[in-house]
Structure formats: C-alpha cells, structure tokens
A and B are shown apart, each in its own frame.
Chain A
Amino acid sequence: NAGVTQTPKFQVLKTGQSMTLQCAQDMNHEYMSWYRQDPGMGLRLIHYSVGAGITDQGEVPNGYNVSRSTTEDFPLRLLSAAPSQTSVYFCASSYLQGLIYGYTFGSGTRLTVV
C-alpha cells in the first residue's frame, strides 16, 4: 500500500505562475483534505472533500482551487502564485466514518514562491 502520495516534493515558482500539487491515495478513503503548514502557525485547512464531486472550503481557501473527479485523486491548484503561499503543503485522507481513527498524511510538498 502506497498510502497517500504527494508530488512534487519540492517546487520553486515565480510570482504569478500557476501549478497543481498532486495528491493520490490508494486506500479508497472518502475524505481528503489539504493543509498548509507555516512556522508558528501549525497546520491550517485549505480545502476538503467528502467524496468524488464534493468539495468545500476550509480555514484558508483564498488563492487555491480543488476538484475531486475520482475517489483517489485530490489536486490542489494555485492559479497565480504569491510569495504568501510559500509553505509546506500536506494532503491527508481518511474513511469518513474513520475520521475518528485519524488521518493518513502524505509526506508533503515544499513550495517556494519567489
């Protein structure tokens, strides 16, 4: 089992560029989410999805788009990157009922916007 796979692991973008952070899970989890982690801020929820075709905003959604066309994939899109989006991004998944049993996290994508 690969678990939650995030790509790329590292990325440098110029201000205004766009990119997609990929997240895939092979555990048939209904629930998937994206967090960003900044020093001293902990993890902040960006977007989440409770199943294919269903997404919703978290705490800090501005500047990010998501879609969930399949159960396995939950890509995060930055349409016009800004230096404030420099962060480490984590994707996490769980069974919906298994939310009570904790998330499985990917290893993260470290993004720098210059």
Chain B
Amino acid sequence: SQQGEEDPQALSIQEGENATMNCSYKTSINNLQWYRQNSGRGLVHLILIRSNEREKHSGRLRVTLDTSKKSSSLLITASRAADTASYFCATDARGNQFYFGTGTSLTVIP
C-alpha cells in the first residue's frame, strides 16, 4: 500500500496565486521529500525536510512537517505557468525503501 497520499488530487489556480498541496503518511519517518514531474518526464527533487524539522524554505517553496499528524504541506508562492506539473511526496518509512504518494496535479493558468 502507498505510504503517502497527496491532497488534492488536482489543483487549478491563476498565475500569481499561491498553491498548497498536502501529503499524509502512515508510519514514522526519518525524512520527507517533495518531487516535481513535468508531463512525460522523470521526477526532479525539490526539497527535503527531516523529521526533527518543522519548516523549510527554498526559493518560492515552503514545506512544513507535522510528525504528530503524520502530514506535510508544500506551498508554492507566486505561482508561474512553468510550475504546472505533478507534485509527489516521498517518505523513507522503511529504511532504504522510499515510497511515493499518488501525486497532486497542479495547473497554473496564465
């Protein structure tokens, strides 16, 4: 079964708005990562947050982690059309095995 589940499954926003997507997972983790996948391409690593961290920033990305609720959120501020992609969270709940969620499909309308 999937370790992570993203919510919402699909999100459509206007350029310049903020996009928030959430990830819930089932068991304890050491770290959680977010990836982006453009249509027809491989995944690209965006950001990692460790289990002892609560918030992390990278450019227009902000990630939060709440280990008590087993959830994480990815915020993309001032979205651009180029941010249109699918976004996945991945957790290392089983040591060397990384498990991905089902993804959030983000569409940014110019």
Q: Which residues of A contact B (CB under 8 A)?
A: 4, 31, 33, 35, 40-45, 48, 50, 56, 58-59, 90, 92, 96, 99-108
- Which residues in A have their C-beta under 8 angstroms from that of B41? 107-108
Given the contacts A42-B2, A43-B88, A100-B50, A105 and B44 also touching, CB distance less than 8 Å: yes
Which residues B49-64 have CB closer than 8 A to chain A? 50
The total of interchain contacts (Cβ-Cβ below 8 angstroms) comes to: 62
Known: A43-B88, A102-B45, A105-B44. A35 touches B100 (CB 8 A): yes
Q: Write out the residue numbers on chain A whose beta carbons fall within 8 Å of the beta carbon of B98.
A: 33, 45, 99, 103
A101 to B50, CA, bound (A): 10
Q: Which residues of B contact A58 (CB under 8 A)?
A: 97
Given A102-B48, A108-B41, A42-B88 contact (CB < 8 Å):
yes
| Cβ–Cβ contact B42 & A105, under 8 A | yes
CB-nearest residue of chain A to B101:
A42
